[in-house]
Amino acid sequence: MTAAPPALLVPPAAFAPALNTERAFAFVGERLWLDFINSDVLRGIDALRDFDTMISWLEAASLVDNERGSGMRRRAREQPSGAAAALVDARRIRTSLRILAERGTATNTAEQVRSDALGEINRVLGRSAGTRRVERRSDGSYARTFVPVGDAFAGLMIPIVESAADALILGELPRVRRCADMRCARVFFDSTKNGRRRWCDMATCGNRAKAARHRQKLRQTAD
């Protein structure tokens, strides 16, 4: 007699995101703001390609639950110009944060770069009114949420810019790195003890580098 298969291997359709986010989105930055920056270099899909993919990314990042995500998508259909403006704004924030991640500690430019980023962070924080909450997720973990009043789209970027603000407040910028693979533009927070993390992800870039080293070794032995 064979055992019946587990009933919940496949989640109910209502909980399935619009994209296969597990494959489409990578969260390897160890900080929300860095993951958001990395959303521009996904294999084939830019998370800010359109409003819908932006909501999918926010859902994958657990910033928006399915219910609020559906509400946003509905609202976007009713107010396409508001949704388009939110998307343009998100892209602007992402560009500004990438500059902070990549040049926030560079000699000569650091001060200007940080001051520009701070202006951008405060612009976003300053214009949104709403309620901050702490909510328990279905997996038992806790997350900060922000429920905006007024413009429904205005608060979407708040947790992301707060995460960037934390990097400034906690002095984390010296540990923010860009992947050592020149073809990869991912950034990450290096939380290793010795501060020598080089790759965004061992399964992709780290592995490629290992394979390249191996090939070189083989060539050398053949010589």
- For Zn ion, the binding residues (CB under 5 A) are 179, 181, 184, 186, 200, 205
Q: Which is nearer to Zn ion, 117 or 205 (CB)?
A: 205
Q: Which is nearer to Zn ion, 157 or 179 (CB)?
A: 179
Q: Which is nearer to Zn ion, 155 or 175 (CB)?
A: 175
- Nearest in space to 117 (alpha carbons), one of 58, 176, 64, 63: 176
Q: Which is nearer to Zn ion, 34 or 179 (CB)?
A: 179
Nearest approach in angstroms of CB 41 to Zn ion is 9
Nearest approach in angstroms of CB 201 to Zn ion is 6
Q: DSSP secondary structure string, 127-171?
A: H--EEEEEEE-TTS-EEEEEEESSSTTGGGGHHHHHHHHHHHHTT
- Here the contacts of 118-125 (C-beta below 8 Å, separation 24 or greater) are 118/168, 120/92, 120/93, 120/96, 120/161, 121/161, 121/164, 121/165, 121/168, 124/93, 124/157, 124/158, 124/161, 125/158, 125/161, 125/162, 125/165
Nearest approach in angstroms of CB 208 to Zn ion is 8
Q: Which is nearer to Zn ion, 98 or 186 (CB)?
A: 186
- 49 Cβ contact list (under 8 Å, min separation 6): none
User: Looking at residue 12, what DSSP letter applies?
Assistant: P
Nearest approach in angstroms of CB 204 to Zn ion is 6
Alpha-carbon span 99 to 117, nearest angstrom: 8
Nearest approach in angstroms of CB 20 to Zn ion is 21
Nearest approach in angstroms of CB 177 to Zn ion is 10
Q: Which is nearer to Zn ion, 6 or 44 (CB)?
A: 44
From residue 161, alpha-carbon distances to 32, 136, 154 in Å are 9, 22, 12
